[in-house]
Structure 1
Amino acid sequence: MRNQALITGAASGLGLEFCRLLAADSYDLVMVDKHGDGLEQAAKSIQDAYGAGIKIIEKDLGLNRAAEELFAEVNLYEFDILINSAGFGLFGFFAETDWQFEESMLHLHVLNLTHLCKLVVQKMIHRGSGRIMNVSSLAAFQPGPLMNVYYASKAYIHYFSEALANEVKGTGVTVTVLLPGLFNTNFASTAASYSGSSEKKEKIVTTTVEEVARTAMKGMMKGRIRIIPGFSNKLLSLAPRFLPRNLVLSSLRRIQERIRKE
């Protein structure tokens, strides 16, 4: 029987690249995304290239109880790998942004991610093997004016994942948190569309999605708890520890305001 992997955010970006790498490594996939058309196209391209068995599920994990509904569809699967890659950003002042997007973000990044981890990790522990990877961000290391809820939710993913990794030691299950910087996906344009701003080009892109995915996959397979791809990103992750908090906040605000205007 082939190994099985569940990937959220699978229609594009990092999630899609994880699907390609896993299919190339002889995994069968359950690909989850809210964008059904893109999901079908992505699945077909992977199936044609690698011959993987693929189940696609169109599901918006930004909705209440979505993780429970998703798990009901795949309860008979024995997943060797779970990758929570789905996510989106939102630019703007908290007092001005639309609550429905922040509520969706919290369901996606916090509630449903946590619930899906609980549902899957219980079966993995019972079986004595499995790997979970949750995608956070360099944003997890500091507060982020004009992307307030996004930064806070990514910090949650970071610390939840590290604590869970500690709890499952000795069970045969590993938990990895990926903390990438900016890379070449449609993240910035998505964040802009949610905030009502014009589409933006991505800023300060330090690496490619392929490089991030390869680094993350290699680290997860080794059982690493925390992965920060790229030397410059490792340095950036240290800056908030040593710089005055007010300086970090004011610098981030200036950067975000500049991006928002362009």
Structure 2
Amino acid sequence: MTKTALITGAASGLGYELSLLLANDEYNLILIDVDSGKLNEVRTEITKSYSCKVDVMVKDLSKPNVANEIIEAIDVIIDVLVNNAGFGLFGTFANTEWQRELDMLYVHVITSTHLTKLVLGGMVKRGSGRILNISSLAAFQPGPLMSIYYASKSYLLSFSEAIANEVKGTGVTVTVLCPGPTKTAFQGVVSEKTTENKISFNMACPSDVAQYGYNAMQKGKTVAIPGLINKFLATINRFVSRGMATKIVRNLQEKNRKE
């Protein structure tokens, strides 16, 4: 039987790349994004190259109760959920815009958690299903100058690891992908309301990152960190104090901002 995957933030970046991988494996797709133009372009591109069914939903995931709206509009079983949508904001917490940060918390935390809640119970009852949450290398330490982004990604990591343990043995798996800097539209969104943070060090190709995360999801791996440098950076707190790790992150953020 044909299976269905729901992907948020599917119009570009990792969401787009993961949609291609799922289409190649003959999943029908439900693609969700706030950008209607790019979303329809992606649907056209995928339907030209693959035989799967592609439905799109234009939704702002920063709005309350949007997860309910999405699930209520769907009349098929969700076999794979990819919580990919997200964005960043650069600047000191005292000076950044609260509404933008509230939107980020909704997208990264509330809506992702709610979508997971709405599909996970059915997956467990059926004894099958996969969830892929897109976190970040940022999840492993505090992030001065991007405090809410780092904290929300840390939440996604912790949440994913916890529920992955809860569903062990049910036939359902939960994977959290924690990439380092990846060449996507993320940087443009970071700079939308504030000074741009131009990260160039250790920049990864989105198709490679997506493939790594997709393989990890299919294998049922819980935490997926692509790249040897990133794997090392994720463990930096084992070698230095959290205070020192925070200072290192602050220095990197300031350096990248000036470049």
- TM bucket (normalised to shorter chain) is over 0.9
Which residues of 2 match residues 1-262 of structure 1 at below 5 A? 1-74=1-74, 76-194=75-193, 196-197=194-195, 199=196, 201-262=198-259
Instruction: Return the letter of the residue paired with 1:204.
Output: F
Contact 1:184 1:209 in 2 (8 A): yes
Alignment CA distance shift 1:200-1:246 (3 Å): closer
Q: Which runs of 5+ in 2 are unaligned?
A: none
Offset of 1:170 from its aligned partner? 1.6
Instruction: Return the letter of the residue paired with 1:39.
Output: L
Offset of 1:258 from its aligned partner? 2.4
Instruction: Return the letter of the residue paired with 1:7.
Output: I
Question: How much identity, in percent, do the aligned residues show?
Answer: 48
Alignment CA distance shift 1:61-1:238 (3 Å): same
Instruction: Return the letter of the residue paired with 1:61.
Output: L
Match of 1:171, SS?
A: coil
Instruction: Return the letter of the residue paired with 1:169.
Output: K
Q: Which runs of 5+ in 1 are unaligned?
A: none
> How many residues are matched?
259
Offset of 1:202 from its aligned partner? 3.6
**TM-score, normalised relative to structure 1:** 0.96
Deviation by residue 1:167-226 (Cα, 9 ceiling, x = unmatched): 1112111000101101111211210113x22x5544214321111111111111011111
**TM-score, normalised relative to structure 2:** 0.97
Match of 2:73, SS?
A: helix
Instruction: Return the letter of the residue paired with 1:248.
Output: A
Contact 2:198 2:257 in 1 (8 A): no
Offset of 1:230 from its aligned partner? 0.9
Instruction: Return the letter of the residue paired with 1:254.
Output: N
Deviation by residue 1:143-178 (Cα, 9 ceiling, x = unmatched): 000000000000000000000001111211100010
Contact 1:136 1:158 in 2 (8 A): yes
1:200 and 1:51 mapped to 2: Cα distance? 40
2:243 and 2:197 mapped to 1: Cα distance? 27
CA RMSD for the aligned pairs?
Answer: 1.2
Instruction: Return the letter of the residue paired with 1:38.
Output: K
Contact 1:90 1:191 in 2 (8 A): yes
Alignment CA distance shift 1:202-1:45 (3 Å): farther
1:256 and 1:209 mapped to 2: Cα distance? 21
Greater than 6 Å deviation, 4+ residue runs: none
Question: Relative to structure 2, which stretch is displaced further, 250-259 or 91-100?
Answer: 250-259
Contact 2:90 2:197 in 1 (8 A): no
Match of 1:215, SS?
A: helix
2:223 and 2:251 mapped to 1: Cα distance? 29
Instruction: Return the letter of the residue paired with 1:96.
Output: N
2:225 and 2:62 mapped to 1: Cα distance? 26
2:229 and 2:123 mapped to 1: Cα distance? 35
Deviation by residue 1:124-152 (Cα, 9 ceiling, x = unmatched): 11111000010000100000000000000
Instruction: Return the letter of the residue paired with 1:173.
Output: V
Offset of 1:7 from its aligned partner? 0.3
Contact 1:189 1:200 in 2 (8 A): no
